[in-house]
Amino acid sequence: MARLNTFFLPPEQWPANEGEVVRLSGPEARHMGTILRTEKAQTVRLFDGQGREGLFTVRDIAKHRADLEAVKLAEHPDPEDGLTLAIGWGKSKRRDYLLEKVVELQGNGVIFWQAKRSQGALPDDPKATWNEKFVQAAKQCGAVRLPNLETVPGGVEGLLAMAGAFDHCYLAWEAEEANTPLSPDMLSKGRTLVVIGPEGGFDQAEADKLLQAGFAPVTLGPSILRWETAAVYCLSLAMFGAQDRS
Amino acid sequence: MARLNTFFLPPEQWPANEGEVVRLSGPEARHMGTILRTEKAQTVRLFDGQGREGLFTVRDIAKHRADLEAVKLAEHPDPEDGLTLAIGWGKSKRRDYLLEKVVELQGNGVIFWQAKRSQGALPDDPKATWNEKFVQAAKQCGAVRLPNLETVPGGVEGLLAMAGAFDHCYLAWEAEEANTPLSPDMLSKGRTLVVIGPEGGFDQAEADKLLQAGFAPVTLGPSILRWETAAVYCLSLAMFGAQDRS
């Protein structure tokens, strides 16, 4: 059987019970009706990005809306483990690409932070387009949960304030102080935060603050990695670590 | 000390001994002289993409050529281990990106093969622009060896003919037959080949041929990965596996 098409339904619209009918509207409905030409009585898959997914039967469909009856609903609990990446902000053509990879590689979240050597100004709030990128990537790869997305102003102090939400905090450090390779094991237990510097690297003072706050320095290997390569490397190790555990 | 600038010197020009002077010409020389404004008596790093690197002093420099004296030469032996990816051909805007990642993540090589579901025709020979991408990526990340690059016509039979060059062969298979997760360990001993299908997936007959030839089916995890994500995932596990070993 061919894989079902998946559509995003905002969490606030999610049905409480099987048998309920929801109305999909906007671009997702247009995608379903006009582009994919979905028909009455067909089955589609919906997800809300917060762990809920389900199979729905099309009861009625028009150009800009679709009425869908929930046939089978499932809910996946919040993960207790997983990797969040804190990435030093920079102007980059590769940001959209990285956001897609975070979804595909099952990252828990992305935090953009303003580093001393960051080029360009960090937006105050995550842009709607970034979340849209998450949604599209999740539709493609079957993810049930959209990664968390935050921007943290206030430089490294802003990051330090968030550290308490994590069980383990690491600093991806390209210097002699980091002898320990980051491993899948380190990323497989609990909520983990890995901080990646901006393209220009960490400022020594920034790194010192993180180290003094208990962020463990780790190396990502002998190669000099671009920021987005460092990110997918960490995400890949974490995704393997999760499989190894189960 | 700031990291030295690196330039590519074709292997056929590599000096036999320290003290010899080589002449760098063409775009690399232009990059050195005109763009980076390197001056006489400065030190630069050269590499030949086949394991040799060295520090050189600039004896003379003009717009399109530089005469460089070898001060310190090093040679790195062929790796006995490492990952080669065989990737099902497809039209993709992300190929250049992937070629860069293969260098950064220390992949041994890339083989493009024509799958049944490949869209577009595989070129007969690796394009010069692909190798140039390798060179630029290697300059940025300090790699001493350019990955091997091949195109294999003849579909999956062409791939099977190459299997003998590898110690371990795997098939990244998204189906129920693949229960075994690909692990860093599997990629850390000997020369390994991992076959990734085209965007449309493997044809059953193709997969059967590979399985019958002894390619071990492995899963890359629960998520549906795009071809270039599957590639960087495998490369990341291999790079970690290499660190873990040493």
| Chain segment A163-197, per-residue pLDDT in tens | 999 999 999 987 666 789 999 999 999 999 999 99
> Would you tell me the crossing angle of helices B128-141 and B95-104 to the nearest 10 degrees?
40
Q: Which residue among B104, B106, B223 places its CB closest to the CB of A106?
A: B223
Listed residue (B101, B102, B134) closest to A226, CA to CA = B101
**Domain boundaries B82-245, corresponding CATH code:** 3.40.1280.10
Strand order in the sheet with A65-75: A6-8, A43-47, A52-61, A65-75, A21-25
Closest chain B residue to the Cα of A97, Cα to Cα: B94
Closest chain A residue to the Cα of B233, Cα to Cα: A236
Compute the C-alpha angle B95/B142/B148, nearest 5°. 45
Could you tell me if B201 and B226 are in contact, meaning their C-beta atoms sit under 8 angstroms apart?
A: no
Closest chain B residue to the Cα of A243, Cα to Cα: B221
Q: pLDDT (tens digit, 9 = 90+) per residue, B38-97?
A: 999 999 999 999 999 999 999 999 888 999 999 999 999 988 899 999 999 998 888 999
Q: Which residue among B142, B181, B224 places its CB closest to the CB of A243?
A: B181
Chain B: closest CA distance from residue A7 (Å): 16
Other C-beta atoms closer than 10 Å to the C-beta of B181 total 18
- Spans of all domains in chain A: 6-75, 82-245
Chain B: closest CA distance from residue A161 (Å): 30
The answer to whether A229 contacts B104, with C-beta atoms less than 8 Å apart, is yes
The answer to whether A226 contacts B143, with C-beta atoms less than 8 Å apart, is no
- Which CATH superfamily is B6-75 part of? Hypothetical PUA domain-like; domain 1 (2.40.240.20)
Contact residues on chain B for A141, CB-CB shorter than 8 A? 223-226
ipTM confidence score: 0.91
* A interface test, pick of B144, B228, B240, B244 with most A CB neighbours within 10 Å: B240
The answer to whether A239 contacts B229, with C-beta atoms less than 8 Å apart, is no
The answer to whether B244 contacts A181, with C-beta atoms less than 8 Å apart, is yes
**H-helix segments, chain A:** 26-30, 95-104, 128-141, 155-162, 204-212, 227-245
What DSSP state is assigned to residue A19? T
Helix (H, G, I), strand (E, B) or coil at B121: coil
Which range, of A20-34, A75-89, B174-188, B217-231, averages the lowest pLDDT? B174-188
Q: For residue B213, give both structure tokens.
A: 């030839």
Using the predicted structure, report yes or no on whether residue B157 has a pLDDT greater than 50.
yes
Q: Which of A11-15, A127-131, B79-83, B173-177 ranks highest by mean pLDDT?
A: A11-15
pLDDT at B1: 39
Q: Which residue among B221, B240, B242 places its CB closest to the CB of A183?
A: B240
Contact residues on chain A for B140, CB-CB shorter than 8 A? 224, 226
The answer to whether A229 contacts B184, with C-beta atoms less than 8 Å apart, is no
pTM for the predicted model, two decimal places: 0.92
Please state, in angstroms and rounded to a whole number, the distance separating the CA atoms of residues A43 and A33.
13
